[in-house]
Amino acid sequence: MANKILVTGGAGYIGSHTAVELINSGYEITIVDDLSNSKESAIAGIEKITGQKVEFVKLDLRDYDALKELFANNKFDAIIHFAASKAVGESMQIPLHYYRNNIQCLLNLLELMDEYNVPNMAFSSSCTVYGQPDQLPVTEQTPFKPAESTYGNTKKINEDILRDAARSNEKYQLIALRYFNPVGAHETAEIGELPLGVPNNLIPFVTQTAAGIREQLSIFGDDYGTPDGTAVRDYIHVVDLAKAHVIAVDRLLGKKNKANYEFFNLGTGKGSSVLEVVNTFERVNDLKLNYKIVDRRAGDVEQTYADTTLANEELGWKAELGLDEMMKSAWAWQQKLN
């Protein structure tokens, strides 16, 4: 009988792509999502790609009683926890919402994992836990600096909670995956990034500007200490990222983890500037973007990119898709939405 995985936030961007890879790897999944930052159409997309019906439960993880009922009625072998509020800019405007949502959800899950003997969790963390690092590339041993955003701080606090939980109870088997900047979409264009309202992330704003939905793309700052003055990030294709989550679950269920709390950087190991991304998008899709340089945005770090040696060696995982594929698939997804 197939192992059953609970995917929280599974109708979201990374969650939906991971759901596809889990099903393709033979896992049975249950998706839980409150649809506050996603749409149920993602479930249909997953089903279309995989040819399988997906169990979906609309549920807010902050609702402890509803979540407990879910655990009582199912036997999960592992959890992949994506569900969180995730926009850096927005987190600076409504910080209390981010603390309440991102921390309470994890606490509820950990308590019920203990009660219902579900030891395994792969947690969706972020490179924002490192703040603005003193040295690049960022390794897993890079010290955490004060978070530049409320969102980053919630991820840092989440990791502190996971570390303390693992230290206090050997039953927990936990892996935190610190990802850099996921972009792109599934090659079928059946699922992709679907921000509700005005996008906070670069790529959906790029694609919506190209599609005429947004009048202009704002590039926040050209006076950073980077080659072209714009901020540098390690962009990773969402499908590469999704595959890493399957490997993490395989590792936990196969008891191959070397400690009951592990953490890995997931990126390509290469930084790309905002202007480089924009120029690549224009080149591979043969179009021009209307963009303007504006002031820096609160909460943004200057540059960050990953050292992925540990994930490459321990997980046997490596990012395979480049910036060209990321920009092509993102535009194909946007065109399907139009």
What are the residue numbers of the active site? 151
Q: How far apart are CA 37 and CA 42, in angstroms?
A: 11
Q: Residues 90-99: contacts with CB within 8 Å, 24+ apart?
A: 90/151, 90/200, 91/149, 91/150, 91/151, 91/152, 91/154, 91/299, 92/149, 92/150, 92/298, 92/299, 95/150, 98/150, 98/151, 98/154, 99/150, 99/154, 99/157
Residues forming beta bridges with residue 176, ordered by sequence position: 123, 263
Q: Which ranges constitute the DSSP H helices of the chain? A: 13-24, 41-50, 64-73, 88-93, 95-115, 150-168, 202-210, 238-253, 274-285, 309-310, 323-337
Cβ contacts of 317 within 8 Å, gap of 6 or more: 243, 244, 247, 266, 311
Judged by DSSP in three states, 284 sits in helix
Q: From the centroid of its chain, how far is CA 107?
A: 19
Q: Which of 298, 158, 183, 175 is nearest to 233 (CA)?
A: 183
Q: Provide the sign of the torsion angle of the four alpha carbons 191, 193, 196, 198, taken in this order.
A: negative
Judged by DSSP in three states, 297 sits in coil
The two three-digit tokens of residue 81, written as one number: 């926890």
Q: How far apart are CA 286 and CA 210, in angstroms?
A: 11
